[in-house]
Amino acid sequence: MLEARLEQANLLKKVVDAIKDLVQDCNFDCNDSGIALQAMDNSHVALVSMLLRSEAFNPFRCDRNIALGINLGSLTKVLRAAQSDDILTLKAEDAPDVVNLVFENSASDRISEYDIKLMDIDQEHLGIPETEYAATITMPAAEFQRICRDLTALSESVSIECTKEGVKFSCQGDIGSGSVQLRQHTNVDKPGENVEIDLSEPVSLTFSLKYLVNFCKASGLSDTVKLSLSSEVPLLVEYGLSNNSYLRFYLAPKIGDEE
Amino acid sequence: MLEARLEQANLLKKVVDAIKDLVQDCNFDCNDSGIALQAMDNSHVALVSMLLRSEAFNPFRCDRNIALGINLGSLTKVLRAAQSDDILTLKAEDAPDVVNLVFENSASDRISEYDIKLMDIDQEHLGIPETEYAATITMPAAEFQRICRDLTALSESVSIECTKEGVKFSCQGDIGSGSVQLRQHTNVDKPGENVEIDLSEPVSLTFSLKYLVNFCKASGLSDTVKLSLSSEVPLLVEYGLSNNSYLRFYLAPKIGDEE
DNA sequence: TCTTCCTCAT
DNA sequence: ATGAGGAAGA
């Protein structure tokens, strides 16, 4: 059986919020190392990969591998019932029909409990190769979100160009064009505002802003975001969570004339 | 060419916000004395006149007269990309296709740059006669905004009556009637709260509240607003900016039975 | 598409 | 503390 207690129901809430527009139904794969999720969006352009390691829970218990096929719309409805400081416990049997969510408000003596019916979902398990990326940019998540939102006003796609000098997000649209350039900088006092670039080779790729804006819903999960790029390989947008857990999005570049 | 650097991108942002609901497209007329704008609203009831003198910029350079025909919706989208403390530089060639806006974050490892395509706009240059007004009221901009908003709840139009005693804003509507009276008063300690009346002849005129509320979006630009009235002449609502720059709105009075 | 909630700015 | 704007949900 699975029993996983999360001090902050909010974490799961935010995670689900960030991916529910990309994926409707998906498996939460539970085993003794934690809870993982991998799914492609309907158009197979984007991929979500989440890992909540067992250390993120306290306690965490999962005797054998369980796949919880959950409709994220249903999960969202239930999670909306959680106060932000509630403690959430996920429970499931070994061959479950339902997953059970218990919300405890630490202060009060209020306990809410929900069961969500599970579904069978074809497990298209996607091996994601560990790629060595040509460029990796670490920057404030809020700033990345801001840039994507600003450029969305002008165009459907953004070109991300990374050189030793810095990173440049640019786009062209009907009303004009826009670009935002960031230089690498480090300030020990404000590590959350640092822009760090790790480059082995300059890259320039174009992506759909709609998806990037969508990914940015995860900004609340982490102060910083890591963008990893290589030519002709999907962009990796990673939000690191505590305990080495993460929420990752992959997005295939637009090619050639599509730019 | 034009090159104009504005320490506070916010100023332009507020100006454009205040007029974009009245005017969709208009020319920014640039010459060595600054940047000016004049436009009537679609229904030709109201007129906007803005002047940003060259002294408001640092540096300011404009070799010859350039008319930048800009869609204010597009400009709004781009200005939304400015952080509030960004420095804005406007640039344009002598016979430009685009106007270029550069936002520098003062901390500035971030530079955003936008080009907005220009349009040809028929220059209906409106000579605005310098009128001697029968009454001029200077009052806190926030108070004028409040009055207009409050009275909007009751009626579509407001009558502004100015005598030696003071100024009275009043309206009648279906649910009842309302009025706000202000007496002239001066307090050296709080000059921003003064109400000053300069009267050569009592006047009473009626105006559309919808437009006045719209003008009041400019309240953020100045602590005080100046209302100038004369019989059968458009009301002048003026927000003074630093360096003798200004944002002025003119509104034709409602006549006779329309009240 | 419209309404409501939440967040940001003043 | 209040008001405005943007985002999310119905």
Q: Nucleotides of chain C within 7 Å of a protein C-beta?
A: 9-10
- Mean pLDDT calculated for residue range B177-206: 90
Spatial distance between the Cα atoms of A4 and A12, rounded to a whole number of angstroms: 12
- pTM summary value: 0.93
Q: What burial letters (b/e) apply to A75-91, b meaning 16+ CB within 10 Å?
A: beebbeebbeebbbbbb
- pLDDT computed for residue B108 by the predictor: 64
pLDDT for res A81: 84
Q: Which of A154, A189, A197 to mutate to test the interface with B (most CBs of B within 10 A)?
A: A154
Q: How far is A173 from chain B (nearest CA, A)?
A: 9
Q: Which helix (H) or strand (E) holds A37?
A: strand A34-40
Q: Which two tokens stand for residue B27?
A: 């020319």
Residue A186 contacts B, CB cutoff 8 Å: no
CA distances from B124 to A241, B38, B72, B128, B129 (A): 59, 9, 17, 12, 15
pLDDT-based confidence at residue B259 (cuts at 50, 70, 90)? very low
Give the rounded percent of residues in chain B with a pLDDT score beyond 70. Answer: 98
CB count in 10 Å sphere of residue A114: 17
**Residue in B112, B115, B116 to test binding to A, most A beta-carbons within 10 Å:** B112
The single-letter DSSP state of residue A24 is S
B257 pLDDT above the threshold of 60: no
Is residue A153 helix, strand or coil? coil
Strands of the sheet with A135-140, listed across from one edge: A66-71, A25-31, A34-40, A46-53, A246-251, A235-240, A224-229, A135-140, A196-199
A181 to chain B: which residues are within 8 Å by CB?
A: 110-113
CA-based R_g, chain B, Å:
19
pLDDT in tens, chain A (259 residues): 999 999 888 899 999 999 999 999 999 999 999 999 999 988 889 999 999 999 999 999 999 999 999 999 999 989 888 877 789 999 999 999 999 999 988 776 788 899 999 999 987 777 788 889 999 999 999 999 999 999 999 999 999 999 998 999 999 999 999 999 999 988 877 777 889 999 999 999 999 999 999 999 999 899 999 999 999 999 999 999 999 999 999 999 998 754 4
The pLDDT value recorded for residue A259 is 44
Q: Answer yes or no: is pLDDT of B106 > 80.
A: no
Give the C-alpha separation, A230 to A235, whole Å.
7
Please give the Cα distance from A242 to A56 (Å, whole number). 7
The answer, yes or no, to whether residue B165 has pLDDT greater than 80, is yes
Nearest to B111 among A174, A181, A195 (CB): A181
Task: For A167, name the nearest residue in chain B, comparing CA atoms only.
Answer: B110
B106 at the A interface (CB within 8 A)? Answer: no
CB-CB under 8 Å, A185 with B98: no
Q: Return d(Cα B159, Cα B205) in angstroms, integer.
A: 5
